[in-house]
Amino acid sequence: MRYKYAIRSAIQGVARHKSRSALTILGIVIGVASIILIQSVGSGAQGLILDQVQGLGSLTVTIMPGRPQSGPADGANSFSDSIKDREVEAIRNTANVPGLTNVTPTLFIPGSTAYGTETYEGTIYGTAPGFASILSLEVAEGDFITDQDVDARASVAVIGHTVREELFGESDALGQRIRIGNRSFRVVGILEEKASALFVEPDKVVIVPYTAAQSYLSGSDYYNMVFGQAVSEDQLDAVQADIERTIRDLHDITDPEKDDFDVGTQKELAAQIGTITDILTYLLSSVAAISLVVGGIGIMNIMLVSVTERTREIGLRKALGARSGDVLSQFLIEAVILTSVGGIIGIIAGAVFSLLAAFALSTFVGLNWSFSFPVTAAVIGIGTSAAVGLIFGLYPASQAAKKSPMEALRYE
């Protein structure tokens, strides 16, 4: 019964000073809302990146030249020359890698594509017909490059939707000749519009046979990447191991630490990206949580002021029989109420801002961004805000409980 009265008294004390209570909980609201917003945006970013990774297909295996990448500084490894026709033919051999299909050597050539007076700056992809299957590319007009084009080193090209608009506008592009470097290529296909998949933006690509790219554009005999597909998910690990063993045998490598190539799967990449985004989200959330501490200090200051202002009230209650524990409970409950209400408002505000951010990113920026409400963060936010009120309200409450009834009644 005593606690029921303490709770009622605490609620009355909070309601009696509405403006002060509102300002007191503002720090908690900002802190909890920031955590909710960061967690939601972090989850949305992770989902967006993973969608792009999965756009390559869960069965896709990539072989890149150069030592296995350990950070952004290793990006130049893709221009190493350790993957050539010999390696491609070796991993195509089913005796070496029985679970691998659709082996597609690819090279990237930065440069411009021109038609008449129009020029488009971008990357030219020298690749094989399997590239369309791996990236799930569909041709809107014409055809994709064929094995015959690869064998003949044919000067043909498939262009993305944006490239077509930039070079040809409303004119018909199919059958026209575009210039890449010093070579003329005939447009044989135009891709359907499609969202980007990891490092490839299908709307902005110019695709030519890799043999033509090597002969007429790059002059090189190596590849920047080789794609392949496992026949099933349960064979992914075996395929990866077989590829590594095959290339090590070709390169006389006995120590895996000295690999001059990197074999990866989409499952690995998705796990790495998930770990990175989680770490960044938790780091930013911990920074936002500092505002909860600041809000707690603000509550302690306000409660100390409140104790001073309510000295006579405390004295009167004690004179009428209230014990020190009753006064302590009342002020502690006031602090917990303030922070808990701030936590609830913060969760609502964070959810609203997260929803607006997701809407803006998907509508105005054109990203495939989905809203995600972080339930765990909301529960932690409520619990943390209540704990902050309890911790930072303890000292003001103890000060109130220590007051002598006689001195309090004489207080002016």
Q: Report d(CA 354, CA 40) in Å as an integer.
A: 6
Residues 6+ apart with CB under 8 A from 29: 342, 345, 346, 349
- On the question of pLDDT at 76 being above 70, the answer is no
| Band (194; pLDDT cuts 50, 70, 90) | confident
Tokens of 305: 């002021």
Tell me which DSSP letter residue 72 carries: G
Would you state the pLDDT for residue 78? 47
Would you state the pLDDT for residue 242? 94
Beta-sheet strands, E only, within 181-285: 183-191, 206-209, 225-230, 261-265
User: Nearest 5 degrees, angle CA 293-CA 296-CA 301?
Assistant: 130
Instruction: Return the closest-CA partner of residue 33 out of 380, 349, 376, 381.
Output: 349
Q: For the beta carbon of residue 73, count every other beta carbon within 10 angstroms.
A: 8
- On the question of pLDDT at 55 being above 60, the answer is no
Greater pLDDT, 275 or 174: 174
* 221-246 tens-digit pLDDT: 899 999 998 888 788 889 989 999 99
Structural contact between residues 153 and 146, judged by C-beta atoms closer than 8 angstroms? no
Query: Which phi and psi angles does 157 have, rounded to 5°?
Result: -145, 145
Alpha helices in 192-265 (DSSP H): 210-212, 236-250
* 248-302 tens-digit pLDDT: 999 999 998 889 999 987 766 656 666 777 777 777 777 767 777 777 777 777 7
- On the question of pLDDT at 158 being above 90, the answer is yes
CA distances from 278 to 43, 44, 275, 281 (A): 8, 11, 5, 5
* 106-126 tens-digit pLDDT: 999 988 999 999 999 988 999
Instruction: Return the closest-CA partner of residue 105 out of 142, 72, 62.
Output: 62
Greater pLDDT, 369 or 269: 369
Give 119's strand partners.
114
- On the question of pLDDT at 203 being above 50, the answer is yes
Element (H, E) at 290: helix 266-309
pLDDT-wise least confident of 44-58, 82-96, 168-182: 44-58
Q: Report d(CA 376, CA 282) in Å as an integer.
A: 12
Would you state the pLDDT for residue 6? 58
Structural contact between residues 162 and 195, judged by C-beta atoms closer than 8 angstroms? no
401-412 core/surface letters (b: 16 or more CB in 10 A; e: else): bebeeeebeeee
147-163 core/surface letters (b: 16 or more CB in 10 A; e: else): eebbeeebbbbbbbbbb
| Band (72; pLDDT cuts 50, 70, 90) | very low
Tokens of 209: 């046979």
pLDDT (mean) for 330-358: 86
Would you state the pLDDT for residue 49? 66
- On the question of pLDDT at 159 being above 90, the answer is yes
Structural contact between residues 222 and 106, judged by C-beta atoms closer than 8 angstroms? no
Query: Which phi and psi angles does 221 have, rounded to 5°?
Result: -120, 15
pLDDT (mean) for 356-367: 80
pLDDT-wise least confident of 51-60, 213-222, 231-240, 334-343: 51-60
- On the question of pLDDT at 196 being above 80, the answer is no
Domain residue ranges of the chain, discontinuous segments joined by +: 2-52+271-410, 105-230
| Band (388; pLDDT cuts 50, 70, 90) | confident
Structural contact between residues 147 and 141, judged by C-beta atoms closer than 8 angstroms? no
Structural contact between residues 180 and 206, judged by C-beta atoms closer than 8 angstroms? yes
Instruction: Return the closest-CA partner of residue 53 out of 382, 276, 381, 259.
Output: 276
- On the question of pLDDT at 375 being above 50, the answer is yes
Tell me which DSSP letter residue 144 carries: -
Would you state the pLDDT for residue 71? 47
156-159 vs 183-191, strand pairing mode: parallel
Would you state the pLDDT for residue 330? 75
Rounded to the nearest integer, the mean pLDDT of the chain is: 81
Give 65's strand partners.
261
Would you state the pLDDT for residue 40? 85
User: Nearest 5 degrees, angle CA 298-CA 338-CA 376?
Assistant: 100
Residues 6+ apart with CB under 8 A from 359: 371
Q: For the beta carbon of residue 376, count every other beta carbon within 10 angstroms.
A: 8
Instruction: Return the closest-CA partner of residue 345 out of 293, 281, 290, 295.
Output: 295
pLDDT (mean) for 393-409: 68
pLDDT-wise least confident of 152-156, 247-251, 402-406: 402-406
Chain-centre distance of CA 282, in angstroms?
12
pLDDT (mean) for 61-79: 64
Q: For the beta carbon of residue 172, count every other beta carbon within 10 angstroms.
A: 11
